[in-house]
Structure 1
Amino acid sequence: MMMKLFLIMLLSAVTLSAADIKWEKDIGSAVERGIKEQKPLMVLVTKNGCRWCDVLKQNTLKNPKIVAILNRDFVAYEGVVDEGTVPPSLMTQGTPATWFIKGKSPMFEPIMGAVESADFLKALDIVKQEYKKSTTK
């Protein structure tokens, strides 16, 4: 009985961790990996205690479709304003802010706020299309 319970708990933990975004540890390695793998970089700018940052991370960024797309087609990095991990060029008036970067340059103005999953999926599709267009020119 204990072995069965242990296996169920282990399987649950593996399933939950599989649904997480693979975040790069620092902006330098994120940029480098994006260039090397020819993928857009998504930089999420957050702040500790930001209610809307938590809403975005706990709802939209836990959506299995979004997680799968980000892990497959993007390089993801989270910079936290009050931890000093946001590049100065990506600082915004509010949080959360979601930037998409090609190489070392932003592709668009950031998406501000806690965007719903459907709109975030549309944005990811637009970013992928624009990235592909600008890469093939």
Structure 2
Amino acid sequence: MRIYVIIVAAIVLHTTVYAAEIFWYHDYNTAVHKAKEEKKNIFLLITGKTCRWCRKLESTTLEDSTIVARINQHYVAVALTRSLDDYPEYLDAKMVPMSFFLTSEGRVINSMPGYWNVEDYHSILDDVTYYLNKQHRSH
């Protein structure tokens, strides 16, 4: 019986950890509205339809449970495809993938082009958090 309980607990834990995913919006204006409503910043990912580095970022780094948790907790996430979806012109994605961190008003906090592994993405998120905390303290 004890082994059965351990196996069930392991399955539930495994499912919970790996079921977590970023809650994506696919419309920029809807994401901005939601960010203002929830008093959160925006994480905008712009990808390309045939971009292999975009797929790698999406299938590795952005599926890591620790990255997912941080993004879902602190940001409204929106995923858009360059040349297919509408977003403000000033958010110029000359290369993809492009990660933008924005205020709920759309002001750019930070932007990072390219693929980044989990460790580096945590560092990027740390930098954004540091900047936001510094801004908050100065006001």
Shorter-chain TM band? 0.7 to 0.9
1:15, distance to aligned residue in structure 2 (A): 4.1
Count of paired positions: 128
Give the stretch that moved more between structures: 97-106 or 78-87.
Answer: 78-87
* 1:10-89 alignment, distance < 5 Å: 15=16, 18-89=19-90
Structure 2 length-normalised TM: 0.79
Residue type matched to 2:122 in 1? L
What is the CA–CA distance in structure 2 between the aligned matches of 1:35 and 1:133, rounded to whole Å? 21
Work out whether residues 26 and 80 of structure 2, in 8 Å CA contact, stay in contact via their aligned partners in 1.
no
Cα distance in 2 for residues equivalent to 1:133 and 1:83: 36
Q: Which is further off, 61-70 or 37-46?
A: 37-46
Segments of 4+ in structure 1 off by > 6 A? none
Give the Cα–Cα distance (whole angstroms) in 2 for the partners of residues 97 and 29 of structure 1. 20
Aligned to 1:105: 107
Kindly state the Cα deviation for residue 84 of structure 1 after the two structures are TM-superposed. 2.5
**Contact 1:80–1:86 (8 Å) recurs in 2:** no
**Structure 1 residue 38, shift from structure 2 partner:** 2.3
Q: 1:87 to 1:17 in 2, by over 3 A?
A: farther
Q: Which runs of 5+ in 2 are unaligned?
A: 1-11
Deviation, 1:111, is 0.5
Decide whether aligned partners of structure 1 residues 83 and 17 sit closer, same or farther in structure 2, where only a CA change above 3 A counts: farther
RMSD: 2.4
Residues 41 and 125 of structure 1: CA distance in aligned 2, closer, same or farther (over 3 Å): same
Q: Structure 1: any 5+ residue segments left out of the alignment? A: 1-10
> How big is each residue's C-alpha offset from its partner over 1:16-74, in whole Å with a ceiling of 9 and x where there is no partner?
77321001231112112222322221100101110000010001001110001111111
1:42–1:76 Cα contact (<8 Å) kept: yes
